[in-house]
């Protein structure tokens, strides 16, 4: 694996991609970030080989957009004239409807390929200082090909394998966003709602794994997630309504002291986990 890579945005995800490329491939990595301190740090630790010039974009084999959704679209629109036809452009955003409403069109107009991408890995901490070459180890990598040629999708899969992702799945933007509303956005809303209880500040000494797990992602990057939640609001609100209805159903059984109904509901949950082998 020896390609010219440009990574735009060296935060947690972009920085981790750069470090993974350096650790596991022979690719040449050029980086872009609006923060000069981040670029300096990335150069100094060897996460990037150089700060990307216009010429680097013009020669890129793969360009990773690792900004927030709207910023990714803006960057691609502003630099599309530099991107060569053989280049595969991809993003790492947590939602795809908005990205896929713009990027495939920009790509078509300028003759390069766009494939949506979402590495299913994260951390409670954000920024380059939290980035890690092994953040993606065994993680799933979701690809949203839209109308990109299979060759472009194949290249991203090959890279994902080299970077030690656990596997790739393909989805439409709609399926991606619907699933992410459940697997990722809902737990983040939940964690935030959970820690707002007046009991939370007193939890020390009275808590263990279940507190730790449900509250973990409440340490949230509010600017990023507010944008993600609002961009995916239909799917997220549907999951929130389902969740509130299910909590209410359990609450009603508790309220009525209906042990049989409560056991039946809890049993159903256990069986779902068992069916999934978890």
Using CB under 8 A, which residues numbered 209 to 228 contact a copy of itself? 209-211, 213-223, 225-227
**274: exposed, middle or buried (Cβ count in 10 Å: 0-12, 13-18, 19+):** exposed
Minimum CB distance to a copy of itself smaller for 55 or for 267: 267
Question: H or E segment at 225?
Answer: helix 222-231
Report the distance separating Cα 277 and Cα 221, nearest Å.
32
Nearer to a copy of itself, 1 or 186 (CB): 186
Residue number with CB closer to a copy of itself (36 or 209): 209
Rule CB under 8 A: say whether 106 interacts with a copy of itself.
Answer: no
d(CA 184, CA 131) in angstroms, rounded, equals 20
Rounded to whole angstroms, the Cα distance separating 150 from 125 reads: 35
8 A C-beta contact, residue 57 and residue 4: no
Q: Which is nearer to a copy of itself, 82 or 262 (CB)?
A: 262
How deeply is 201 buried, as exposed, middle or buried, from its count of CB atoms within 10 A (0-12, 13-18, 19+)? Answer: exposed
The site for a copy of itself, by CB under 8 A, has a size of: 92
- Which region among 13-21, 57-65, 99-107, 165-173 touches a copy of itself (by CB under 8 A)? 165-173
* Phi-psi region at 277: left, alpha or beta (left = phi > 0; alpha = psi -120 to 50): left
Task: Tell me how far apart the alpha carbons of residues 235 and 220 are, in angstroms, rounded to a whole number.
Answer: 20
Could you say whether residue 204 binds a copy of itself (CB under 8 A)?
Answer: yes
Per the CB < 8 A criterion, the answer to whether 69 and 93 are in contact is yes
For the chain, state the CA radius of gyration. Answer: 21
The distance of closest approach from Cβ of residue 59 to a copy of itself in the complex, given in angstroms and rounded to an integer, is 33
The least CB distance from residue 25 to a copy of itself, in Å, is 23
Q: Please give the sequence-ordered ranges of beta strands (E in DSSP) within 88-139, or none if there are none.
A: 88-91, 113-119
Shortest reach from residue 93's CB to a copy of itself, in Å: 14
Comparison of 55 and 249: residue with beta carbon closer to a copy of itself: 249
Q: Of 2-10, 64-72, 145-153, 184-192, which segment contacts a copy of itself by CB under 8 A?
A: 184-192
User: Smallest distance, Å, CB 189 to a copy of itself?
Assistant: 5
Q: Does 200 bind a copy of itself (CB under 8 A)?
A: yes
Nearer to a copy of itself, 45 or 220 (CB): 220
249 vs 262: CA distance, rounded Å: 9
Extract the runs of DSSP E, i.e. beta strands, from 28-166.
28-32, 50-51, 62-65, 88-91, 113-119, 140-144
Binding mask 113-152 for a copy of itself (x = CB under 8 A): -------xxx----------------xx-x----------
CB of 9 to a copy of itself, least distance (A): 20
By the rule CB under 8 A, 202 interacts with a copy of itself? yes
Shortest Cβ 173–a copy of itself spacing (Å): 13
- Residue 278 within binding range of a copy of itself, rule CB under 8 A: yes
């Amino acid at each position: 694996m020896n390609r010219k890579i440009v990574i735009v945005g060296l935060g947690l995800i972009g920085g981790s991609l750069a470090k993974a490329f350096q650790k596991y491939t022979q690719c040449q990595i050029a980086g872009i970030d609006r923060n000069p301190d981040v670029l300096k740090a990335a150069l100094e630790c060897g996460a990037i080989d150089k700060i990307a010039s216009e010429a680097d974009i013009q020669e890129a084999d793969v360009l990773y957009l690792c900004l927030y959704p709207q910023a990714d679209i803006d960057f691609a629109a502003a630099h599309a004239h530099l991107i060569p036809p053989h280049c595969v452009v991809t993003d790492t955003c947590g939602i795809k409807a908005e990205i896929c409403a713009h990027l495939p069109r920009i790509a078509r107009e300028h003759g390069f390929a766009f494939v949506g991408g979402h590495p299913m890995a994260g951390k409670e901490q954000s920024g380059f200082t939290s980035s890690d070459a092994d953040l993606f180890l065994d993680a799933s990598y979701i690809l949203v090909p839209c109308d990109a040629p299979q060759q472009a999708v194949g290249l991203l899969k090959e890279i994902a394998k080299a970077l030690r992702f656990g596997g790739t799945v393909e989805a439409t933007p709609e399926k991606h966003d619907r699933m992410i509303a459940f697997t990722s956005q809902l737990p983040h809303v939940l964690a935030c709602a959970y820690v707002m209880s007046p009991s939370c500040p007193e939890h020390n000494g009275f808590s263990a794994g279940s507190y730790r797990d449900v509250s973990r992602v409440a340490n949230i990057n509010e600017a990023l997630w507010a944008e993600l939640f609002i961009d995916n609001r239909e799917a997220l609100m549907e999951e929130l309504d389902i969740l509130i209805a299910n909590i209410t159903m359990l609450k009603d059984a508790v309220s009525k002291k209906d042990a049989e109904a409560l056991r039946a509901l809890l049993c159903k949950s256990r069986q779902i986990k068992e069916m999934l082998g978890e």
